Amino acid sequence: MVRKGHTGFVFKVALMGKILVTGAAGQIGTELVERLCSRYGRENIIATDLKFPHVPECEHGQMDVTSRDSVDEFFREHSIDSVYHLAAVLSARGEENPGRAFDVNANGTKNVLDASLRSGVKRVLIPSTIGVFGPQTPKRKVPVETVTRPVTMYGITKIFCELLGEYYFRKYRLDVRGLRLPGIISYKSPPGGGTTDYSIEMIVSAVKGKSYTCFLRSDTRLPMMYIPDAIESIIKLSEADGGKLIHRTDFNVSAFDFTPGELETELRKYFSGFSVEYRPDERQKIAETWPSTLDCRAAVDEWGFSPRFDMSRMVEDMVRNLSDQSSPAGKR
């Protein structure tokens, strides 16, 4: 198959089987599936999740990653070439139900890797997270190799997934890749219970003309990225020349960083009367264990990570899109 890349040049995609996405109904999965459909053809994409609030415009099905039998069956019944494994329970929700987070994130990932191995899948991409860092990790410009001793079940299971992916690569030559995403900001589908969700909630409140109560302190600085850059990064890493990768499953990526207070100030440029009250809850403790800024050099050097959106362009784009959605025409 010959396709035109978004940069304009023509490249070849050798697809024998299909591309499977797990967790496809989530915040990132919803937009990744759309992008994969436009890049590789919707007939080549299979979206799976527990349920779909919005039916994707490609083949889709139910697959619970915690059920080894149903994962094996799904892989047996479909000819799958590569996998984007997004099914997960995120940081804040994981602390509400650590057992479930362990089952989905750790056992689910092992089930998907084993099924991939058995059915000859060529590549598995698993997003990791800044949640793999912990209180002993330095705060600023954190490199890939650093102290990773997370204190949440989410972080513990995600660092396990990074290491498991590396293990399957070294031992079985299964091409597993991954990148540590920061807080992802998007407007098409709601966030799934992470500690950086406040940023989306704050922007949505401002656009709706409501005040916002923030669950983090106003000076809590965290790394972030806008969804178009997250999607392009995932695809770029997946298409990168494997021979040039020194790292595999743990690339740091982030486009900008800000505090809730700085986001509030940026939003006042559009909504002068917007106000935020700060009432930190247990999610503040999680945020305090994460770095404020990341060193993304490995991703830049090894596969050309190059985000396009800075914070102010992200806010401008979010405000425009959310305003369009809530206009009478957008509601039709």
Ligand X SMILES: NC(=O)c1ccc[n+]([C@@H]2O[C@H](COP(=O)([O-])OP(=O)(O)OC[C@H]3O[C@@H](n4cnc5c(N)ncnc54)[C@H](O)[C@@H]3O)[C@@H](O)[C@H]2O)c1
Cα–Cα distance, 321 to 327 (Å, whole number): 10
Q: Is 299 in the site for ligand X (CB under 6 A)?
A: no
Q: Is 22 in the site for ligand X (CB under 6 A)?
A: yes
Q: Is 108 in the site for ligand X (CB under 6 A)?
A: yes
The residue (of 146 and 268) whose beta carbon lies closer to ligand X is 146
Pick from 18, 47, 58, 64 the residue near ligand X by CB under 6 A: 64
CA-nearest of 133, 129, 119, 128 to 165 is 128
The residue (of 106 and 298) whose beta carbon lies closer to ligand X is 106
CB of 48 to ligand X, least distance (A): 7
Span interacting with ligand X, options 12-20, 180-188, 259-267, 318-326, rule CB under 6 A: 180-188
Provide the b/e sequence for 237-267 (b: ≥16 CB within 10 Å): bbebeeeebebbbbbbbbbbbbbbbebbebb
SS3 percent helix, strand, coil of the chain, rounded to 5, is 45, 15, 40
3-state secondary structure of 213: strand
- The helix (H) or strand (E) run that includes residue 72 is helix 68-77
The residue (of 22 and 119) whose beta carbon lies closer to ligand X is 22
- Residues contacting ligand X: total by CB under 6 A: 28
Both structure tokens of 25? 């109904």
Both structure tokens of 148? 């990773």
- Give, as ranges, the residues between 115 and 144 that touch ligand X (CB under 6 A): 127, 129
* Cα angle value 171/173/177 (rounded, 5°): 105
The residue (of 191 and 307) whose beta carbon lies closer to ligand X is 191
Q: Is 216 in the site for ligand X (CB under 6 A)?
A: no
Q: Is residue 154 annotated as part of the catalytic site, yes or no?
A: yes
CB of 102 to ligand X, least distance (A): 11
Q: Provide the binding-site residues for ligand X, judged by CB under 6 A.
A: 22-23, 25-29, 49-50, 64-66, 86-90, 104, 108, 127, 129, 181, 183-184, 191-192, 194, 196
Indicate which residues carry an active-site annotation: 154
